[in-house]
Amino acid sequence: MGYDLNMRVWRGDATGGGLQDYVVPVEEGEVVLDALHRLQATQAGDLAVRWNCKAGKCGSCSAEVNGKPRLMCMTRLSMYEPDEVIMVTPMRTFPVIRDLVTDVSYNYEKAKEVPAFAPEPRRKDGTYRMQQEDVERVQEFRKCIECFLCQDVCHVLRDREGKEGFVGPRFMIRVAGLEMHPLDTADRVPETKNEYGSGYCNITKCCTEVCPEHINITDNAIIPLKERVVDRYYDPIRIIARKLFLGARGKGEAMAEQFELKNISVDAIGEALVRAEHYRLLNEPEACESICRDILAADPENREATIKLIMSITDQFFGSANPGVNEPRELLAKLDDEFERTYFAGLICEREARAHLERGQYRDFAYDGFRDAMELYEKAEAISPPNNNNAILRYNSCVRTIRSKNLEPPIPDDRELGLD
């Protein structure tokens, strides 16, 4: 049974506007978007409304209905009394383009700031493996339709003049989906604290309440990210441990906090690359590493600096009690060429294996590392550029080391350990 619906719709553009009253005939079972379409067809042909699928899956028709952020295609008229005035306004967090259409380009700019998925190397059989519970944990975040209702209702974005310090709930779940992914190797905790502004969120759960896909944004994404930041930067036990046990390195970190790094100019990158190689040839990998980091701060996509940084970090594996392989492996994702990614992945494995061999008591680890490196070198050889035999040379070097050091595969120990 139809009736006349009293509507109050915001009309205007970036220069200003206001609410206008309309009486629109509607039918039972319709949604707010149906009423607006009828309004367009009969009374306000110039009314601007953004929509697409009308099925709650594209996220286009976001607006505020009676003050609450909603998808207009999923907001049934039966939710309101027949004599109730339904007020439809544009999302208040974003600049108005015209009528109910807002400029949400801010969100797409923020999306560019989140580092992409950086998977670990495939296993020896060429596959990835994950536990089902890990898959289910991040699958929830993949349901996001980017309606940006959570961004609209977030008081941090809505009430602050500048939005630069906080990416908002939508991109906190994007970061959480990557951070919690069992195959991802990138470390986004520093960015979560600094660039993404996790500390601004005070857990009001408004974003969770308005999500049309019922994603538990606050509990399952934002709070776990805040916990990771707190564990790393504010855990008192860790702070004390750093001060007590890091020794000279801890003092160096404390001194580093008192000074800011200076930036080099883009025009100086060419000379800086020459000096980086110079220090590496002088067996001063720390100096080479520092220069490469300065170059990448000025030009994050610089391929040559990325490769030299990988080499200088792995140069320091030798003599280290616990070589850190995570960062050089994360840097591989910055290399566009598949051959280079595969070749340098093998080089990292080989250098880690040689570091184990140098210490003497990790021969089993050394053998496995050389075998992993050889498999990667074989893959690199298959896709190597013409007349490039680097992968073959490194492969042969691994073979000769295994032979000369009499390295053998580790023998599985199937004995059960009993307790006396």
Pick the CATH number of 105-233 from 1.25.40.80, 2.40.50.140, 1.10.1060.10, 3.30.930.10: 1.10.1060.10
Identify the pLDDT of residue 283.
86
Distance CA 62, CA 70 (A): 6
Identify the pLDDT of residue 398.
94
- Residue ranges for the chain with pLDDT beneath 50: 248-251, 254-256, 321, 413-420
Reported CATH class of domain 3-101: alpha beta
Six token digits for residue 217: 């944004």
Neighbours of 48 (CB within 10 A): 16
Identify the pLDDT of residue 47.
96
Q: Give the closest residue to 49 by CA, choosing from 86, 105, 97.
A: 97
- CA distances (Å), origin 40, targets 16, 100, 348: 21, 12, 63
Q: Which fold has domain 260-312?
A: Methane Monooxygenase Hydroxylase; Chain G, domain 1 (1.20.58)
Token pair 């990790």 is found at 362
Distance CA 14, CA 31 (A): 27
Identify the pLDDT of residue 416.
41
Identify the pLDDT of residue 256.
46
**Has this prediction a pTM greater than 0.75?**
no
